[in-house]
Chains A and B, each alone.
Chain A
C-alpha cells in the first residue's frame, strides 16, 4: 500500500488511466482533509483541500492512495466522471456538498436534495407518459422516487431520485471518538450492519497500525456470512413476491425470520448489532452459539433449498425473470458495479477473493459468477442461490475455530493516521475511509455497495422492459437506499 501526492490534474489523469485497465477498481473517491496541520476538521471551501482516490489493483493486490492537491480558494477540479462513469453520482454529491465544480462532468445536476429538485422527464411526444413512483410506495420498503418515461407499457427511460434518507452520518462523526463512530457505522444501513461495522473497524485499526487477532477476523467473517444468509433469503422472498409466487414468498419469509431469531440467539441482536468491536472480539459464548448454529442452520437450509428448487423449476417464475432487467457487461465494468449484480454479468468482483483473499481462502470461499452470463434478473437470482450455499459452508467451516482464544482487550486510542477498510456486504463491496487526528475522527468517507449499483439500476430498467417488470428488477437488484443516502 502506498500513497502519492500530485497536482489535481495529474492525479485525475493517473486514476482514469489506472481504471481503464480491467484489473483496477476504485475503492473510494472524495475529498480529504488538506495537508495543512492547522485547520483540521474545517470543511469549508476556502481552505486548501485535497481530492483522494483509493484504487486497488486486483492482480497485484496493491492499494494506492492518490491525493490531488487543490489550491486554496479553488472552486473547480477536473472531473473524473468524464472518463470513468462510476464517478458520475459521486461528483454530483461532491459538487453539492462543497460548491466546487467538477469541470467536464457530463451530467452535472443536483442529487442530494429531493425536496428541492425533481428529475425531469426526457422523452416527449405523442403517446409518451411520465409516471412518478414514490417516494412512498406500497410494501415495506425504503423511500426512493422513480420517474418513468413510458410509451404504452414500454419503459423508455427511468431516473431514480434518492437521498430521501440522507442523515449526513459522515459529518456527525467529525470530532467523535472511534468507539462512538462505530455505533454510527452499525446504523448506516440496518441490513448491512456487520459489513459497515467491519469495514469501519478495519479502517480505524489500519489508521492506528493495529492488526486484529485471527479470532477477531474469523468472527467478523462468520457474522458477515450470517448477514448474507438472511439478506439473500429476503431477496429470494421479495422476488417470489414480485412474481406472484405467494407460497414461496411466505415460506422464504419464514426462513428469514428463523435466521433473524438465530442471529439473536447467538449474539443478542436480530440484525447482529454489537457483534463487531474495535480491536477485539465479540463477547459471544461460542460454545453455546456454535451448538445452536450447528443444530438449526441445516433445518433452515433444507427448507430454503427446497423452495429454491421449486422456484427454479417453475416456468412461470423463470419466464418473468429472463430476460428482464439486463445489465450490459460494458455498463457493469465502467460503472464499477459490485456484488451479485456484477457477478451476474460474469465479472468476478468479490472482496472476499480480491483484497480479503488471505482471510477467505482457507474458509472455503469461492467467487460465484453466473454460469449463464446474461446479466438479467435470473442470473442475479442464480448467483445468490449459489452464494447462499457458499455462505452456509463458510459458517460451518469457521465454527470449530472460534472460541478458542481468550478475549483480548485492547485500548485503541486514536492518535493520528488514515486507514481504509473493506468488507463484502450481501450487496457487494463496502468501503470506509477514515482520517483521524488528536484521538478524534476528522473525516469519514463511506462507500456502500449499493452506491456503485444504483446508477446502473435506471439503465437496466429501461433496457427493453415493460412497466410490470419493474418490481422484478427492483427485487433482483435488492439495493439498499440507506447505504447510498447515509
Chain B
C-alpha cells in the first residue's frame, strides 16, 4: 500500500520551488505584481497623476537639485498598481521581486534624479 503512495508521490513531481536558493532563476518564472519601482526619472512638476492616485501617499513629489522629481516609498506601498496604470510616461513598473528586506526604514525610499544638464 505504501509503495503505491510512494510511487504516486514520486510520479507527481515537485511543485515547491528552490526559493530563496536560485532566487534570480526562480522569481522570473512567476508573474507576481508585488513591488513596483521607477525605471526612469520624472521631471514634470505639473503632472500629479501618480501622487494623486496613490492611496497610501507612498508616492510624493519632491524638490531636488535637478528640479522636481518623484519619491517612491515602497514601505508604504500596498501594490494596488494604480501608479503603473495611470502614469502617462510609464515611469513605474512591476519588478520581479516579491521580497525586500532592509535594516533601515529609509532604505525603502527611492528617487531617481535626472542628471543636471550644463545649460540648466
Query: What residues make up the interface of A, taking CB atoms closer than 8 Å to B?
Result: 180, 183, 247, 250-251, 254, 257-258, 261, 264-265, 268-270, 273-274, 283, 303
A-B contact count (CB 8 A): 35
Contacts A265-B30, A268-B94, A269-B33 aside, 11 further interface pairs with beta carbons under 8 A come to A250-B9, A251-B8, A254-B12, A254-B15, A258-B15, A264-B31, A265-B31, A268-B31, A268-B33, A273-B79, A274-B33
Q: Which residues of A contact B8 (CB under 8 A)?
A: 247, 251
A196 vs B80: C-alpha distance when bound (angstroms): 16
A283 vs B12: C-alpha distance when bound (angstroms): 34
Q: Which residues of A contact B15 (CB under 8 A)?
A: 254, 257-258
Q: In which size bucket is the chain B interface?
A: 10 to 19
B75 adjacent to chain A (CB < 8 Å): no
Q: B81, A274: Cβ atoms under 8 Å?
A: yes
B32 adjacent to chain A (CB < 8 Å): yes
Give A254's nearest chain B residue, CB to CB.
B15
Query: What residues make up the interface of B, taking CB atoms closer than 8 Å to A?
Result: 5, 8-9, 12, 15, 30-33, 55, 78-81, 85, 94
Q: Which residues of B contact A270 (CB under 8 A)?
A: 32
Give A255's nearest chain B residue, CB to CB.
B15
Which of B15, B30, B31, B78 counts the most A-chain CB atoms under 10 A from its CB? Answer: B31
Q: Which residues of B contact A183 (CB under 8 A)?
A: 55, 78, 80
Of B5, B9, B55, B79, which one neighbours A180 at CB under 8 angstroms? B55
Main SS class of interface, B:
loop
Give B78's nearest chain A residue, CB to CB.
A183
A12 vs B55: C-alpha distance when bound (angstroms): 40
* Distance between A15 CB and nearest chain B CB, rounded to angstroms: 37
Q: Which residues of A contact B55 (CB under 8 A)?
A: 180, 183
Q: Which residues of A contact B32 (CB under 8 A)?
A: 264, 268-270
* Distance between B78 CB and nearest chain A CB, rounded to angstroms: 7
Q: B30, A261: Cβ atoms under 8 Å?
A: yes
Provide 14 A-B residue pairs closer than 8 Å at the C-beta atoms, listed in order of the A residue.
A183-B78, A247-B8, A247-B9, A251-B12, A258-B15, A264-B30, A264-B31, A265-B30, A268-B32, A268-B81, A268-B94, A269-B32, A274-B33, A274-B80
A258 vs B32: C-alpha distance when bound (angstroms): 14
